Amino acid sequence: MKIIIDTDPGQDDALTILLALISPEIDLLGVTTVAGNVNVHQATINALKTMDLAGVTTVPVHTGADRPLLRAPIDATHVHGRTGFEGADLPDPTQKAAPGHAVDFIIRTVMENPPGSITLCAIGPMTNLALAISREPELRTRLGQIVTMSGAFSEVGNITPTAEFNIYADPHAAAIVLESGIRITMLPLDVTHTLHTSAARLARFEAIGNRVGKVVADWLRFEKTFEANKYGTDGGPLHDPNTVLWLLRPELYKGRQVNVRIETASELTMGMTVIDWWGITNLPKNTLFLRECNVEAAYDLITEVLSRF
């Protein structure tokens, strides 16, 4: 599978990149960064640090949008820490960002490959994707699919009472993407909140015995401190890696085709993903919306993949 990961690293974003890099089923063509969890400059540094951690020098990292399309920027440093990589002290990256904007890289890569052959994993705000689709409308038929960690139905919101962070950070971009006609699979909070990063599960990563497993465990212990306090548990949800896990083992997940729209008018519910689960509107079913996961099998898969480093 040829994929591009569009991301705002973030500890769990980095885990997503690592899973893609070491999986032979996946050909990671590039990583594009966007402002979200941290500013885009820091996101690019973090993506490059992830490449160094994996010992990979052949996958380009392109810097993308530094702000949402219309709204004021927000971040999630209250969760991920000032740099987004708190929890593990990694050296400054030895690599540099590739020349050229992320949006140009996305367009060029999709247009230079056979139609339908590229998957884009969107694990941050969708600003780069919306810009690419707006600039090159042919992406609507050339891009194979978008797999996104975003949105919520029964879990409602994690940055406001009604909105998930990646959507809320740029709801207008998300609306463009959801209305694009591109095949979309959404891994929402309904799934990610079932993948609880318990102390025992993080200990499994650390017990792998390689450097990557230790770093991932340390990263997630820090990141999940905020959510553990919020939910009163010994860990928190595991978000972004579900995109790559679904690509590797789609049978671990269950959901259905539904219509998904994004609220962009009301400040009260800005960024809400409006899920027509019961087909009430009869609108086009534009999204495969997943709500269940075989949690133990998913953690077994993560442990297996990380052990390859």
- As annotated, the active-site residues are 239
| Burial degree of 91 (CB within 10 A; 0-12, 13-18, 19+) | exposed
- Nearest C-alpha neighbor of 174 from the set 144, 237, 115, 131: 131
DSSP state of 124: S
Sequence-distant (6+) residues with CB within 8 A of 105 are: 4, 30, 32, 60, 62, 98
Give the residue from 11, 1, 5, 10 showing the smallest Cα distance to 215: 11
* Element holding 287 (H helix, E strand): strand 287-293
CA–CA separation, 293 and 290 (whole Å): 8
Between the alpha carbon of residue 20 and those of residues 24, 54, 197, 241, 281, the distances in Å are 8, 11, 20, 9, 37
